[in-house]
Structure 1
């Protein structure tokens, strides 16, 4: 981590206890790096932060032209598996003449408490609809029907995944160094932090009246902004922070502490990675950068929940604080 920057610090008893190190980049309209902390060229897996890139071929091809904005929020989602998510995916699959068994994302216990309690009380098991990536996979299936590919659409040499790799490399402006298999079984192509921010800047500058790719990127980001509850769920940073910004900014988390932001009014894209995989550091970092850029009110409850927070023990006593590391976000 020699080239990484200190992003967040946990203080206890007047002493520094832990430090989150990582990388963060802000790119402008032309894709150039406007600000960076750590190493902009650090190669990472974007994980679920790049779901809007993975959905681009679906929309650009015309296969998803009739999808609603709500469905576009869902196709970019890492959702909680709440009823509103599972019911929407089930209805979408039914409209395509498909079902839960056609998904290839795997069963997952829902993060949504009400749905998890319902499954327990009814002695039911979670299914693939509960998988946080089921919306993305419904999009894969829709694109697969359009392309005429075989059923195992998550295979790396499948036409669906080849189209996604091409879009990924074109938007990041980089040839990917390789791929890993994500939690939902789909390939996840690596990129630099700057490349990921560059891709987000593309979405930030996309125009509704542009070409097919521009229109696709515009519709996907606006779907996220219009339906933040579909992108994540209650209590989640993506949903709460997008609501706090009044539908003007799209943000998306990824596993292992990746976060991205799409800011159309500033024509900027953000990408960051906390190297220890700690979610608390990534949420603090994205909140801080959004505040620094003037698109998020630092006094909004959703921001205060994540920005320079007080740590408390099980008896409610103050035990420490999580705060920005000195210098992080300066110059944004």
Structure 2
């Protein structure tokens, strides 16, 4: 088996303090590998990087149209959001539109990553609820699809029609039979795939405009929603949001837990998938930025890029003390 390769380095002074290894694949619209690092056949859980795939049945089923979902709803369905007011207000309104409430969610409560939202909870002596969960938009999508199908409320069960529809979407777009599933942080099944399969799926999304079938139309809607509302996909100070803004709607990107990252590049009909083997997010953020720069869709010196790649590290007194940068030779 091909071993993971160095992708991200953390230097402190003259010494290499940390080195992060990983695998990555770039696929084209024919489903072929354009370039790879490490083992493209490495089997991973895509985690939240697969939310666009999980949202496909929401659109292809007709549920999104039936319930009048807008591009904001679709962006939230693909989101791992910060739990800021711009996210939770919209999730609350979505549930209300369905005639449901927070108790119908099955994602579990989560403290918001957004500082203002967290401070409001503390000042009100309140606790986080499921709407604050970073996956609550995805779960609203599941609930919408379940209502449309006339299926039961336990939409996370593996044999529930919602999850079977998600499995079909994963297998159809990756071109692989998923070998296993695990339970994600939000309690939803997460279907394993090879990194090659995940990149192939992203290339399928990227080339959707070249096709006229229902699934491809749904893919275009989801990608358009992500790049139109990058602030809903993640939030302030997040790599997904800031790098999408830096690319001016040209590329959709999505992170997943344990250092997975994907990119959808319509103008090149390419998809990218990467996984840092030690699960460190700072490393996957740097690595995806480096690949996007190498493909000519992200400016190396853009301020957003410099927050995640070739990023100066500071002490708590503001002294320059190190740098996070692509590993020597990556991705060249």
TM over 0.5: yes
- Asked whether the equivalents of residues 208 and 215 of structure 1 are also in contact (C-alpha less than 8 Å), the reply is no
In the alignment, structure 2 segments of 5+ residues that lack a partner are: none
Quote the offset at 1:319 in angstroms.
Answer: 2.1
**2:227 matched residue in structure 1:** 225
**1:269 matched residue in structure 2:** 271
**1:53 matched residue in structure 2:** 53
Quote the offset at 1:57 in angstroms.
Answer: 0.7
- Asked whether the equivalents of residues 208 and 219 of structure 1 are also in contact (C-alpha less than 8 Å), the reply is no
Normalization by structure 2: what TM-score?
A: 0.97
Quote the offset at 1:147 in angstroms.
Answer: 1.2
Whole-angstrom CA distance in 1 between matches of 2:212 and 2:2: 42
Quote the offset at 1:316 in angstroms.
Answer: 2.0
**2:92 matched residue in structure 1:** 90
Whole-angstrom CA distance in 1 between matches of 2:109 and 2:323: 37
Correspondences of 1:63-142 after superposition (within 5 Å): 63-65=63-65, 66-142=68-144
Correspondences of 1:246-325 after superposition (within 5 Å): 246-325=248-327
Quote the offset at 1:2 in angstroms.
Answer: 6.2
Q: Deviations over 1:195-253 (max 9, x none)?
A: 10000001101129721101100000100000000000011000000011111110000
Whole-angstrom CA distance in 2 between matches of 1:245 and 1:2: 32
Whole-angstrom CA distance in 2 between matches of 1:320 and 1:248: 31
**1:37 matched residue in structure 2:** 37
- Asked whether the equivalents of residues 57 and 166 of structure 2 are also in contact (C-alpha less than 8 Å), the reply is yes
1:14 has 2:23 as partner: no
Correspondences of 1:147-186 after superposition (within 5 Å): 147-186=149-188
Whole-angstrom CA distance in 2 between matches of 1:82 and 1:16: 36
Whole-angstrom CA distance in 2 between matches of 1:315 and 1:121: 29
Whole-angstrom CA distance in 1 between matches of 2:320 and 2:98: 53
> Number of aligned pairs?
330
Aligned-pair Cα RMSD in Å: 1.2
In the alignment, structure 1 segments of 5+ residues that lack a partner are: none
Whole-angstrom CA distance in 1 between matches of 2:212 and 2:263: 21
Whole-angstrom CA distance in 2 between matches of 1:209 and 1:171: 14
Whole-angstrom CA distance in 1 between matches of 2:208 and 2:323: 39
Whole-angstrom CA distance in 2 between matches of 1:148 and 1:30: 37
Q: Deviations over 1:273-325 (max 9, x none)?
A: 00111111000001111111111111111001111122222222222222211
Normalization by structure 1: what TM-score?
A: 0.97
Quote the offset at 1:33 in angstroms.
Answer: 0.6
Secondary structure (helix, strand or coil) at the match of 1:23 reads strand
Quote the offset at 1:115 in angstroms.
Answer: 0.6
